[in-house]
A = this chain, B = another copy of it.
Amino acid sequence: MAEIGIGIVGGGYMGKAHSVAMAAVGAVFDTALRPRLEMIAASSPESAERHRAALGFARAAKDWRELTDDPRVEAVIIASPQDTHRAIAERAIALGKPVFCEKPLADSLDDARAMVAAAEAAGVPNMIGFNYIRTPASQFARKLLAEGAIGRVTWFRGEHTEDFLADPAAPFNWRCEGMANGNMGDLAPHPINAALALMGPIAEVLAEVECVHADRPGGRVTNDDHAQIMCRFASGVKGHIYSSRVATGRKMGYAYEIHGTRGAIRFDQEDQNALWLYRAEGPEAERGFRKILMGPAHPDYQPFCLGPGHGTGYQDQIIIEARDFLRAIEGGGAVWPTFRDGLAVAEVIEAALASAQSGQWTSVIQV
């Protein structure tokens, strides 16, 4: 068992989540590499010091560069605003340090491409934080699809719906400006990632992107509230993706349904410990969607829970990411999802935005 010094840039919600994950992952998964909470950086030295004390790090950095460059920081987690991702990642990569970057990968497609190029050229372990696809249920869905459990897939519908800006009287805030903070920057990446992870590449899209509540108390909203994307997968399958921050009543509507020639799958993150599976087999009278409760028989469940139905939660997904990041570091090798997966999402978003402008089917350009 060896130790590894972890540095985290960002002390906000995701910074804290990764700190907790790194503190817990060793005991949960009995990892070979054991994380040491070495250093944290934030928006100011004072803020970093506060987070250091609260989250249990050994040291606070005066800025991110002190962190990336510190010899006792052996791996870097980026949980800072997305316009900082590229610079931090490139520095860490240049120093040969493994990097985990929160989603979305970068502020622009160019930045995302540069980050992928840098990481792949250097051969440094790199990972992106799409954590919703990490639940036992979604991992099991992937496995079922890979095994052909529902036959040939004929339709995909995905969504990510929340309602935190559904009230038009909610005042203007930082989420109301900047493409990165809008629905297409913040929420759409989740169901697009799910679509890619479950269905493979998307070839063409035709989208609509709309700001529903443009005028809010305190300012004019300059990014989008919701969007729909008709998509054609490279496999030929058709699908639809919807994302919204004005979906009244929906709190964590990361959901999908997939039809195949011999079955179907349904999932909704609002009940994240269940996967619904229909199998077109056996007597007609006994067919129905089964509500399968996650348990030790499913991927990544057992380390958290003794028996079926105990239930995993949001934080557990982050701990699984921590384990996989450690594994990648150890092996110097394969991990999922990588920066390239983050780039793939960005490429779909780019095409969707273009198609929403033109009203035309638009190809997704993959570099």
On A, residues with C-beta under 8 Å from B are: 1, 13, 16, 19-20, 23-24, 26-28, 30, 34, 53-56, 140, 150-152, 154-155, 157, 162-164, 166-168, 206, 208, 210, 212-213, 225-226, 228, 230, 238, 240, 242, 244, 246-253, 259-264, 269-274, 276-280, 283-293, 295, 297-298, 304-316, 359-361
Contact of B19 with A27 in the complex, beta carbons under 8 Å: yes
Contact of A248 with B261 in the complex, beta carbons under 8 Å: yes
CA distance A130 to B266 in the complex (A): 29
Contact of B226 with A228 in the complex, beta carbons under 8 Å: no
CA distance A309 to B290 in the complex (A): 16
CA distance A262 to B248 in the complex (A): 7
Contact of B298 with A285 in the complex, beta carbons under 8 Å: yes
Q: Closest B residue to A159 by CB, please name it.
A: B157
The residue that A313 contacts in the complex, of B157, B262, B310, with Cβ under 8 A, is B310
The residue that A20 contacts in the complex, of B24, B164, B251, B280, with Cβ under 8 A, is B24
Contact of A297 with B284 in the complex, beta carbons under 8 Å: yes
Which residues of B have CB within 8 Å of A225? 154
CA distance A253 to B277 in the complex (A): 16
Contact of A287 with B289 in the complex, beta carbons under 8 Å: no
Contact of B34 with A56 in the complex, beta carbons under 8 Å: yes
| Min CB–CB distance A350 → chain B (angstroms) | 19
Contact of A288 with B277 in the complex, beta carbons under 8 Å: yes
Extra A-B contacts (9), CB below 8 Å, given A248-B261, A285-B297: A23-B27, A30-B54, A154-B226, A166-B280, A167-B262, A269-B309, A271-B273, A313-B313, A315-B316
The residue that A53 contacts in the complex, of B1, B151, B212, with Cβ under 8 A, is B1
Contact of B20 with A27 in the complex, beta carbons under 8 Å: yes
CA distance A200 to B168 in the complex (A): 23
Contact of A314 with B308 in the complex, beta carbons under 8 Å: no
Which residues of B have CB within 8 Å of A210? 238
25 contacting pairs across A/B (C-beta < 8 A): A13-B306, A16-B27, A19-B27, A152-B168, A154-B225, A155-B246, A163-B280, A166-B259, A166-B280, A167-B280, A240-B240, A248-B261, A251-B309, A270-B309, A271-B274, A284-B295, A285-B297, A290-B291, A305-B313, A305-B314, A310-B314, A312-B313, A312-B314, A313-B313, A359-B360
